[in-house]
Amino acid sequence: MRNAKKAHRPSLRDWECDGFHESFSQHLQTIQNHSSDSLILFSSSSKENKDGHHLHNLIASNTPLPIQLDARTLTTETFRCDYDAQNIPCIIHNIPQGFDNAQKQAEWAALHEWTFEKINQVAALQKHRNSMRECLFKCGEDDDGKAIKVKLKYFLRYMQENRDDSPLYIFDSNFDGKGKFSQKLLREYTVPSYFQNDLFEYISTSRRPPYRWILIGPQRSGSCIHIDPLATHAWNTLIVGQKRWVLFPPHIPKHVVKGTALIKSGEDDEAIHYFTTILPRIKEQASQRHRHHQEYHNFACYEFTQQAGETVFVPHGWWHAVLNLTHTIGVTQNFASTTQFDDVWMQVRSSRKRLAWKLLVQLRKHDPALARRAEQRNQHDGFVMKYDPVQVEKRRQNEEALRQRKAQRAV
């Protein structure tokens, strides 16, 4: 673990300098006293906003978000129309308990298999080499973006013993069939029908961007404030423990949610610092400035605690940060919803050019109406696709002509 920590944050000398190991129980009490601690300073004029009309009305009417739903009664159609297509966050209860689309299915094996007791018990029963505890899991990245992996047994011991302010966090997306435990983990949960309209399903698992992670988080670890990439929605199911979340709607500027101007020199900006120090400053600043400072105009942020067994739906474009209040085990997946096609397409075509061409080819085969929509969008914006074979051939011909001219000049 010492090597993993050094590689993950080489410049951090003292991982315990802020004393959060000692002070965390006080922070926990503060959080538990504020079961929902949202701040909404949205003014009525914003109702006229044309983008996300329904969403803006919900924010303006002070509706507590995320909305609480129950898979025992929630149909896939309702979820798609009211939450997925409208970009509204919600918490769905009873998914791992086996409910989906208002019907009872099989309970997830994860409910029993993904517990600290079970992982340790299996280790005692199984032969040394067969234990999941002997498998490598990713718990960080070095400066070159290379994965830092440790055996689960070392990580579990670290979870018990560390006194770090912001401990390492297992965030492993290696579900690609190489390890036998990735196959086992994959069989132990099911993608609920609510989230199965995924455009990237048309791309093979090895070629699509990483999209599913098992998360094993020590108390005080977490995810810093961010937006998920490529206009994807995310769902996040917690099997063990409690997570604190904060969500900001997409219209809040990046420097406001990051608290860029509010972080003092020398202060760290990990999830624990964000929740205990930076976020209170952001809310304070928003309360003071929302009337006269454009950047805080229509401010809204939603804080809540996710319990084991609950699934948080984070719509695309929503800022979010997460703090593990206890040791946690969970799973999260991202998906490119068909209801958000235009946003997904515009992001993919400009930031993942090869992937965009592959997606268009697959859409022509499997969903011609969406393929036409992508082509019309490109035409409308004058967008040229770099990996369209016509463009590739044009580039080849230009290069060839250039080469010939150079050769002639040389003669």
Ligand X SMILES: O=C(O)CCC(=O)C(=O)O
Residues contributing to the site for ligand X (CB under 6 A): 213, 215, 222-223, 228, 234, 236, 243, 320, 322, 332
Question: Which residue number, 98 or 229, has a Cβ lying nearer to Fe ion?
Answer: 229
Does position 319 bind Fe ion by CB under 5 A?
Answer: no
Does position 113 bind Fe ion by CB under 5 A?
Answer: no
* Cβ–Cβ < 8 Å for 356, 363: no
* Cβ–Cβ < 8 Å for 340, 87: yes
| Contact of residue 322 among Fe ion, ligand X, none (CB under 5-8 Å per partner type) | ligand X
Question: Which residue number, 113 or 228, has a Cβ lying nearer to Fe ion?
Answer: 228
The angle formed by the CA atoms of residues 232, 234 and 240, to the nearest 5 degrees, is 160
| Contact of residue 236 among Fe ion, ligand X, none (CB under 5-8 Å per partner type) | ligand X
3-state DSSP percent of the chain in helix, strand and coil, to 5 = 45, 20, 35
Where helices occur in 300-388 by DSSP H, the ranges are 341-351, 353-366, 368-381
User: How near is the Cβ of 8 to Fe ion at its closest, in Å?
Assistant: 19
Question: Which residue number, 188 or 228, has a Cβ lying nearer to Fe ion?
Answer: 228
Output Rg (C-alpha) for the chain, integer angstroms.
24
Does position 84 bind Fe ion by CB under 5 A?
Answer: no
User: How near is the Cβ of 228 to Fe ion at its closest, in Å?
Assistant: 4
Question: Which residue number, 225 or 355, has a Cβ lying nearer to Fe ion?
Answer: 225
User: How near is the Cβ of 217 to ligand X at its closest, in Å?
Assistant: 6
Question: Which residue number, 232 or 378, has a Cβ lying nearer to Fe ion?
Answer: 232
Does position 312 bind Fe ion by CB under 5 A?
Answer: no
Binding positions for Fe ion, 116-145, rule CB under 5 A: none
Write the DSSP symbol of residue 229: G
- Burial 30-51, CB ≥16 within 10 A → b, else e: ebeeeeebbbbbbeeeeeeeee
Mapping DSSP to helix (H, G, I), strand (E, B) and coil, where does residue 71 land? Answer: coil
User: How near is the Cβ of 321 to Fe ion at its closest, in Å?
Assistant: 9
Task: Tell me the C-alpha distance between 260 and 251, whole Å.
Answer: 17
Q: Shortest CA distance to 279 belongs to which of 247, 305, 251, 318?
A: 247
Mapping DSSP to helix (H, G, I), strand (E, B) and coil, where does residue 271 land? Answer: helix
User: How near is the Cβ of 125 to Fe ion at its closest, in Å?
Assistant: 35
Task: Tell me the C-alpha distance between 131 and 53, whole Å.
Answer: 52
Binding mask 174-213 for Fe ion (x = CB under 5 A): ----------------------------------------
Question: Which residue number, 5 or 233, has a Cβ lying nearer to Fe ion?
Answer: 233
User: How near is the Cβ of 226 to Fe ion at its closest, in Å?
Assistant: 6
| Contact of residue 273 among Fe ion, ligand X, none (CB under 5-8 Å per partner type) | none
Q: Across the chain, which distance is largest between two alpha carbons, in Å? A: 83
For the CA atoms of 129, 134, 138, 141, what is the dihedral angle to 10 degrees?
-100
User: How near is the Cβ of 319 to ligand X at its closest, in Å?
Assistant: 10
Task: Tell me the C-alpha distance between 240 and 238, whole Å.
Answer: 6
| Total of residues contacting Fe ion (CB under 5 A) | 1
| Contact of residue 92 among Fe ion, ligand X, none (CB under 5-8 Å per partner type) | none
For the CA atoms of 287, 288, 293, 298, what is the dihedral angle to 10 degrees?
10
User: How near is the Cβ of 222 to ligand X at its closest, in Å?
Assistant: 6
Question: Which residue number, 243 or 290, has a Cβ lying nearer to ligand X?
Answer: 243
Question: Which residue number, 42 or 169, has a Cβ lying nearer to ligand X?
Answer: 169
Q: Tell me which residue has its CB nearest to Fe ion.
A: 228
Binding positions for Fe ion, 213-232, rule CB under 5 A: 228
Name the site residues for Fe ion (rule: CB under 5 A): 228
